[in-house]
Amino acid sequence: MNPLFLNKAWHVPQILDRSAMRRACRYFLGTKDFKSFAAQHTYEIESTIRTVSVCRIKTGSSLISIIIEGDGFLYKMCRGMVGTLIQVGQGKYAPEDIEEMFNKRDRRCAGMSAPAEGLYLWKVFY
């Protein structure tokens, strides 16, 4: 890993299937119940339904950026989405498995959570 990215990016040492990750991004688009991708709380959340308008993979030579835009996000929802996309890229899940993850509405059924390093809030629109 480039030392300039230490604590600023998540280092995934495996080669990822970027085309599978792009196909998987499509399953996150739209208005859905994202309960399977958010951290569990000890209290009840009013609604776990959110709208994701953009979920795309942007690649460079060795860097992959995952851009997510939506009307709001649950606690650690983006980390759950990114971790699941990485696991799709590793071949641990098929892109189509994401649909079943949504249907189960259970955090334990979705992919891992990405670490906080490398996650950035770019813009907020009102």
> Per-residue pLDDT tens for 46-75?
899 999 999 999 988 778 999 999 999 999
Q: Is 86 helix (H, G, I), strand (E, B) or coil?
A: helix
- Whether 41 and 116 have beta carbons less than 8 Å apart is answered as no
Q: Is 58 helix (H, G, I), strand (E, B) or coil?
A: strand
Tell me the domain boundaries of the chain.
Answer: 17-109
CATH of domain 17-109: 3.30.70.660
Residues 32 and 75: their CA atoms lie apart, in Å, by 15
pLDDT tens per residue across span 13-24 = 999 999 999 999
pLDDT band at 44 (very low <50, low <70, confident <90, very high): confident
